[in-house]
Each structure stands twice: as C-alpha cells, then as structure tokens.
Chains A and B, each alone.
Chain A
Amino acid sequence: AQKVTQAQTEISVVEKEDVTLDCVYETRDTTYYLFWYKQPPSGELVFLIRRNSFDEQNEISGRYSWNFQKSTSSFNFTITASQVVDSAVYFCALSEANQFYFGTGTSLTVIP
C-alpha cells in the first residue's frame, strides 16, 4: 500500500488563482514527520516545510499554507494567488522510524 498518496497527478491553474495540493498518508507510528518539497524543472528538491506528528497547527508562509489534519491523515498544501514561478512538481513525504517515503508528486502548471 502506498504510504503517501498524492491523488492529483497534474493540475493547471491560471495565474492568481488559488490551488490546493492534496496529500494523504498512512502510518501506525505516533511519532512521524511530514514534508513538502518543490522540484522545479532544474531538478533540485527544494524543502518547503516539515511538520511533526504532535503539531497540528496550520502554518502560513507568505502565499503558502499547510493544513495538517491527523483525523483524516492529510497534509494539504495551498498556494494562494499562484504565480508562473510556482510551476513545478510538488512532493509530499513521510518520515517514520528512520524510513522516508515520497508521494508520486503533483505537477503544477500555472498559466500566465
């Protein structure tokens, strides 16, 4: 079974629209970490956020916000007022028991 599921393979939005990338994870551990990474066309993985399992507070960083809900095992990522530079592949990941699991990624295209 997939530990991290990103059901949206590709998303296209028009610039300035808001967009939410979904991430659902599966774990039996009580201590785990969740991450979001951005991978632009250059290939390098850019770290966006880390959340530990004991901190369900939502977080906002500029145009980015994250909604962590343990009840639904979800860690969704919203980009507000999207820009062309947001076009990239976004990966959600889970770290538990020294194992790291990536989702399959969501390719976001922001159309000018």
Chain B
Amino acid sequence: GAVVSQHPSWVICKSGTSVKIECRSLDFQATTMFWYRQFPKQSLMLMATSNEGSKATYEQGVEKDKFLINHASLTLSTLTVTSAHPEDSSFYICSAPDRGRVTGELFFGEGSRLTVL
C-alpha cells in the first residue's frame, strides 16, 4: 500500500524557535500533499495544500508567514513553524493522495506532536 512517513513524531521546543516537520511519500509520487492540524479532542483541520514546484495554498485564517510550506520534490513536503509559541502546540498530520489509484483516498503520515514551551 501507499506509505506516507512523517518526521519527527514529536518535538519539544522553546518559544521563539522554528521547527521543521517533514512528510515523505515512500512508495509513490505525490504532486500534492495536505497539512492538517488537530487540537486535543477536535477534528483535523486542513491548514494548507502543498503543491510540488509551486506555492502552497493556505486555508482561510492560516498565516502563510507562520507556517512555511515547501514541496521541493515529488516525495517530500516540509512544514516549518516559524517563531513557535505555546499556542502553536498541536498535532500536525500530513497526507497525500495516490493519484494512480483514483480512489479518492488520502494516505496519512504518523503525525507530529509539537509542544512549545
């Protein structure tokens, strides 16, 4: 099956630092990847759509300068939380559709839990 891997699984950082989260499609090419954010006891909220070779598309209310997304290759997208603050603490999950399957399915990474002190 299609596998999406996310790294790191968890990270703790000090307020004001930047944190990078990587999302890789291991056995398929992903021209598009999606980044979600999930607060405790809430559903997944789409933050942005990452497009290989072009700018990401951000959902309303998501700060582009705060959450930098880069999709430099067909298998890698990165999310950088810049100048992180405690309110950025959350669970971040990436996903990618396997276009070749035409099933509408998204394949999810394991998620990255960010804690900002």
Q: Taking CB as reference atom, which chain B residue is nearest A96?
A: B104
Query: How many positions in chain B have a CB within 8 Å of any CB in the partner chain?
Result: 19
Q: Give the B-binding residues of A (Cβ under 8 A).
A: 32-33, 35, 37, 43-45, 47, 50, 52, 91, 95-96, 98, 100, 102-105, 107
Contact A100 to B106, CB < 8 A, known contacts A43-B111, A44-B111: yes
Q: Once the chains bind, are A91 and B43 in contact (CB under 8 Å)? A: yes
Q: In the complex where A91-B43, A107-B41 touch, is A52 in contact with B34 (Cβ < 8 A)?
A: no
- Tell me which residues across on chain B come within 8 A of A100, comparing CB atoms: 34, 46, 95, 104, 106
Give the residues from 14 to 51 in chain B that come closer than 8 angstroms, CB to CB, to chain A.
34, 38, 41-44, 46
A50 touches B91 (CB 8 A): no
Known: A43-B91, A100-B34. A50 touches B43 (CB 8 A): no
List, in ascending order, chain B residues with CB within 8 A of A52's CB.
103-104
A108 to chain B, nearest CB (A): 13
7 contacts between A and B (CB under 8 A): A33-B103, A33-B104, A45-B93, A47-B105, A52-B103, A96-B104, A100-B46
Q: A33-B103, A91-B44 are in contact. List 15 more A-B contacts (CB 8 A).
A: A33-B104, A37-B108, A43-B110, A44-B110, A45-B93, A47-B105, A50-B103, A52-B104, A96-B104, A98-B97, A100-B46, A100-B104, A104-B42, A104-B43, A105-B42
B113 CB within 8 Å of chain A? yes
**Complex CA distance for A95 and B46, rounded to whole angstroms:** 14
Q: Contacts of A105 on B, CB cut-off 8 Å?
A: 42-43
The answer on a CB contact under 8 Å between A95 and B104 is yes
A91 (CB) vs chain B CBs: closest residue: B43
Shortest distance in angstroms between A60's beta carbon and chain B's nearest beta carbon?
20
The answer to whether A45 and B108 have CB atoms under 8 Å apart is yes
Most buried by A among B43, B103, B104, B113: B104
**With A and B bound together, what is the CA distance between A98 and B91 in angstroms?**
24
- Residues from chain B with Cβ under 8 Å of A102 in the complex: 43-44
The distance in angstroms between the C-alpha atoms of A31 and B104, with both chains bound, is 10
